[in-house]
Amino acid sequence: MEAEGRGSKRKKALQVALAGNANVGKSALFNQLTGLNQTVGNWPGKTVERAEGTLYFKGYRIRVLDLPGIYSLSAYSQEELVAREYIAVERPDVIVDVIDASALERNLYLTLQLMELEAPLVVCLNQVDFAARRGIRIDHKALSELLGVPVVPTVAITGKGLEELLEAVIAVAEGREARKSVPFEFKEDVERCIRELAEEIKKHASQENLKYPARWVAIKLLERDPEVERLVGSLSGGKAILELAERLARRLEEAHGAPSPVVIASERYAIASLLAKAVSRFTREPRLTLEEKLDAITCHRIAGYALLAIMALGAYALIFGIGNIIAGFMEELFDAYVVPYVSLLLAPSLPAWALNVICNGLLGGLFGGLAIVLPYLLPLYVLIALLEDSGYLPRVACLMDPIMHKMGLHGKAFIPLILGYGCNVPACVGCRIMETDRERTIVGLTVVLVPCSARTVIIMGLVARYAGLWPALLLYLINIALLFATGRAAYKLLPGEPVGLIMEMPPYRRPMLKSIAIKTWARLKSFIAIALPLIVLGSLFLELLDALGLIWPVVSALAPITSGWLFLPPEAGFPLVFGFLRKELVITLLVDVAGGDPAAIMGPGQMFIFSFVSMIYVPCVATIAALVREFGWKKAMLISLVSVILALVLGGLLARLLLLLGWL
């Protein structure tokens, strides 16, 4: 694989799409091939929109498309409809069907359908390492013989087998690997019906006006696919085809005693099962692996919850513990070396005000980003990556199912909620795994209340540090109660029956160091590229306002809310307003307005209120943008407004409660 751009003028172009079940490793493969950064993690349904990238290989410029996971090519789900349209209409040069070697039979069900569609196919037999660890070996050569298409074993996360995969892709694109036209057949009577119908279809329509191959259309008509029925109905002579299809479908139903879509599906399952049996070898007896034992504990009705609580507390302690060590180190570095050194260096050549801007504004901003925010972000990012890759997320989703039903949701909604602890933006996008609009709205409303990494930094760096670990923990608990109450209230306002939880449970996987490192680095990079400059600019801006004597007018305009209602020092209004841009600014600007030490202007009780309000009020601009994209303007504004009102009303009530208790 070559880097982009090298001698790319005379390259031949290829369009390749990655298709396959959810959670098989399509995005991992896509990332390896293109060097891009699609979401990869161990739960089904991460990729929700197709992504494109380019790579160069052996004189070809290959455009690769990462598709959402699909299980069949029916008309029942939007993704599947889009996928088959894409394959038939846009006609990519090659479809790479990514299948999971440890779940061959289930994966082949889609492979068979891609073959029905007569797509130019290469099968990527992924996760062979994981299958081997479970004692499963697949004879890929035999599978290739049986299917009549190239089958290449790969390990997407390490890049093993990718060269061979690309070779096969090019061979298929160049037509060196011609496929047998019908490599497998259904049972005789079913096959006869399909042939008869396909002949009739061919009489009336060509592939040009039908888009799809006649045999595929015949199968779909027997499956009573409404989209294909509509398509055929619009052809001249379509009525006759539909009538014949109906007659044949009835004939099948009488002969097999089951609805004709079921007859066809079970035919496919039978073939997939035979194929899988013929090429799989179990190298050792399947025994209870460590993963399965883990499964039993983590999904247990009592032990599961206990473990979840322990994990959450452990994560909390770890983030604070490690964060504190790094923060102490960075503080020392800045106070003892960076600031004195820079002032010493610049003092002779710069006037006092300029030195002030550099030391307080620029270095102060860097200090805020690197010594206050980053130390807590780093352990949080690593933990989130571990959580995403391990396979624990879908288990928690199952565990939380009964509780989520109280909000009219099912357990799957818990996945975006947990992702929210990392960042609300992917959590908003993650709402798409919910089936109905109503559920998506409820989850969207609650997801923005989840304390993201930046808000965790505020809680850790302010409350945990100055008021103690227990008050900080209390904030999280209040937050969970609030999430629940908001979800429940939304459920009462937007009634509807909760849908049952159907989610594939991926196996536990030992997270790979490389994958964790890549994810953590990607998130750190975006922090350094987007948040850090904003933090530095914010600090410079504050310094400038201070120099111009403009801070007080801003702060006193907000005083009725900050001092009057929330019992905070008036300066606190400034970080709260600018935190709208990015929640990290809340803490760095607070440290700035407090002259370096928040404890100088706030007591522990006020820090508690301040953090509470920051935790709840409007998500940052990036989240609002994501909300607009996912839910439209109206709902995005409504969701944001609800969060501000909640923050202010509850913050004021909390302040009065603390005053009553004598904690202010």
Ligand X SMILES: Nc1nc2c(ncn2[C@@H]2O[C@H](COP(=O)(O)OP(=O)(O)OP(=O)(O)O)[C@@H](O)[C@H]2O)c(=O)[nH]1
Binding positions for Mg ion, rule: CB under 5 A: 26-27, 46-47
Q: Between 20 and 573, name the residue whose CB sits nearer to ligand X.
A: 20
Quick one: which segment of 26-34, 188-196, 411-419, 546-554 binds ligand X (CB under 6 A)?
A: 26-34
- CA separation, residue 341 to residues 323, 333, 335, 346, 466 (Å): 25, 11, 10, 9, 29
**Quick check: 515 binds ligand X (CB under 6 A)?**
yes
- Cβ at position 418, least distance to Mg ion in Å: 18
Cβ at position 133, least distance to ligand X in Å: 8
CA-only gyration radius of the chain, Å: 29
The partner in contact with residue 509, picked from ligand X, Mg ion, none with C-beta cut-offs of 5 to 8 angstroms by kind, is ligand X
- CA 59 – CA 7 distance, rounded (Å): 9
**Judged by CB under 6 A, which of 19, 28, 121, 397 binds ligand X?**
28
Instruction: Give the tokens for residue 174.
Output: 């160049």
The token pair that represents 233 in the structure block: 């109905």
Q: How many Cα atoms are found within 13 Å in the side-chain-facing hemisphere of 381?
A: 20
Residues contacting residue 236 through CB under 8 Å, at least 6 positions apart: 204
DSSP string for 409-432:
--GGGHHHHHHHTT-HHHHHHHGG
Q: Which stretch binds ligand X (CB under 6 A): 22-30, 137-145, 476-484, 534-542?
A: 22-30
Q: In the bound complex, what is the minimum distance in angstroms from residue 313's beta carbon to Mg ion? A: 31
Q: Is 419 in the site for ligand X (CB under 6 A)?
A: no
Span of 45-53, 174-182, 314-322, 540-548 interacting with ligand X by CB under 6 A: 45-53
If one counts every other C-beta atom within 10 angstroms of the C-beta of residue 539, the result is 26
CB of 25 to Mg ion, least distance (A): 8
Among 19, 32, 33, 41, binds ligand X (CB under 6 A): 41
β-partners of residue 320 are none
Q: Does 72 bind ligand X (CB under 6 A)?
A: no
By C-beta, is 160 or 202 nearer to ligand X? 160
Whole-angstrom Cα distance, residue 568 to residue 468?
19
HSE value, Cβ hemisphere, 13 Å, CA-based, for 106: 12
Consecutive H or E run containing 470: helix 469-493
Q: How far is the CB of 51 from ligand X (least distance, A)?
A: 10
Selected range binding ligand X among 39-47, 222-230, 274-282, 602-610, rule: CB under 6 A = 39-47
14, 16, 19, 27: residue in contact with ligand X (rule CB under 6 A): 27
Binding-site partner at residue 574 among ligand X, Mg ion, none, CB < 5 to 8 Å by type = none
Sketch the per residue contact string, 89 through 128, with ligand X: x for CB under 6 A, - otherwise. -------------------------------------xx-
Q: How far apart are the first and last CA of the chain?
A: 63
**Residue 260 contacts ligand X per CB under 6 A:** no
> 592: exposed, middle or buried (C-beta count within 10 Å: 0-12, 13-18, 19+)?
buried
Q: Does 144 bind ligand X (CB under 6 A)?
A: no
- What interhelical angle do 374-390 and 513-526 show, nearest 10? 140
Query: Of Mg ion, ligand X, none, which one sits near residue 446, judging by CB under 5 to 8 A according to partner kind?
Result: none
Minimal distance, residue 303 CB to ligand X, in Å = 24
Find which of Mg ion, ligand X, none residue 371 binds, CB within 5 to 8 Å per kind.
none
C-alpha 621/C-alpha 541 separation (Å) is 19
Binding ligand X by CB under 6 A: which of 14, 17, 34, 45? 45
DSSP 272: H
Chain residues 371-390 in contact with ligand X, contact rule CB under 6 A: 389
Residue 150 binds which entry of Mg ion, ligand X, none, with Cβ cut-offs from 5 to 8 Å by kind?
A: none
Give CB contacts under 8 A, 24+ apart, made by 227-234. Answer: 227/75, 227/81, 228/75, 232/201, 232/205
Angle at 107 between CA 116 and CA 253, to 5 degrees: 55
CB of 506 to ligand X, least distance (A): 7
Q: Does 47 bind ligand X (CB under 6 A)?
A: yes
Spatial separation of the C-alpha atoms in residues 228 and 391, rounded to whole Å? 37
Q: Which stretch binds ligand X (CB under 6 A): 2-10, 24-32, 71-79, 336-344?
A: 24-32
Task: Tell me the closest approach of the beta carbon of residue 456 to Mg ion, in angstroms.
Answer: 27
Binding site for ligand X (CB under 6 A): 22-28, 40-42, 44-47, 68-69, 126-127, 129-130, 155-157, 389, 509, 515
